[in-house]
Structure 1
Amino acid sequence: MPTLTKLYTMQEASEHNTKDDCWVVIDGKVYDVSSYLDEHPGGDDVVLVATGRDATDDFEDAGHSEEAKDLMQTFCIGELDTSSSAIPELEISSKKQTDYAQKLMDFTTQYWVVPVAVVGVSVVVGFLYLRKK
């Protein structure tokens, strides 16, 4: 009987990004490495930084041994669903940018009086200065 492979989106994988609940995506597979973080030779911080995105390049650049690659298979919980095109980091960035732009617009519409007052006072001071000469 064939084993069914569970599919996960990058969004789902990115939600597991703590020391107690850590998933990484490498070569299109999703790994739950929560129980291995304390034993990871490079430390848990290295693995936690790789959550929420495809960590294949990071994994390959670290020069993992064949033994490490074999051990990694024991943590495999499924595959990445490539039909989902949503990339969480990009969505978050665009939301933040929109929020900042909206806050700036709100700020300028609420506080337009301050620059107008500064210009007004400057004109009055300039007029009085020129009048004394």
Structure 2
Amino acid sequence: MPELTKLYSMQEASEHTSKEDCWIVIDGKVYDVSSYLDDHPGGDEVILQATGKDATDDFEDIGHSQDARDQLKTFCIGELDTSTAPPAIPELTIVSKGQTSSDTVKKLKDLTKQYWVVPVAVVGISAVVGGILYSRKK
């Protein structure tokens, strides 16, 4: 009889982020590495920073040895339930040069309304500082 695999949501995995109860997600698998934190050559903080998210890229970027990969398997407690995964990033809509999207125009107008203060403040501060420096030279 095949062994049933326990499925965990990313939300559930992200609730285990303490030194006493530490789970990480790598390549769609969930690992309880609580007992390994003190033995990790890179220190426990490296693993603790990788909790609450998919740590696959962090794990791969380090270049772990085959021995480390084999040891990781011993901590596997289940798989990530992909049916509860967050929705995919929406596709980029390409608008041709002559075509305008009212939604795009609205978003652009909203951005300009929100961020006009920064350039105005920079110009104002520059004028004040320039005036002070000019008056000191006289």
Q: State the TM-score, normalizing by the size of structure 1.
A: 0.64
In the TM superposition, 1:35-50 aligns within 5 A as 35-50=35-50
Aligned AA (1:25): V
Q: CA RMSD in A?
A: 1.1
Aligned residues between the structures: 87
Alignment match, 2:82: 82
The equivalent of 1:72 in structure 2 is 72
Structure having the higher Rg: 1
Supply the distance in 2 between the matched residues of 1:79 and 1:62 (Cα, whole angstroms): 22
> What amino acid is aligned across from residue 41 of structure 2 in structure 1?
P
Contact 1:11–1:86 (Cα < 8 Å) also in 2: no
Query: 2:109: which partner in 1?
Result: none
Report deviation, 1:59: 0.1
Give aligned-pair identity as a percent. 75
Where does structure 1 differ by over 3 angstroms across 4 or more consecutive aligned residues? Answer: none
Structure with the larger helix share: 1
Instruction: Give the gaps of 5 or more residues in structure 2.
Output: 88-138
TM-score scaled by structure 2?
0.62
Unaligned runs of 5+ in 1: 88-133
Equivalent residues in 2 for 1:1-133, closer than 5 Å: 1-86=1-86
How big is each residue's C-alpha offset from its partner over 1:39-95, in whole Å with a ceiling of 9 and x where there is no partner?
0000000000000100000000011000000000000000000000348xxxxxxxx
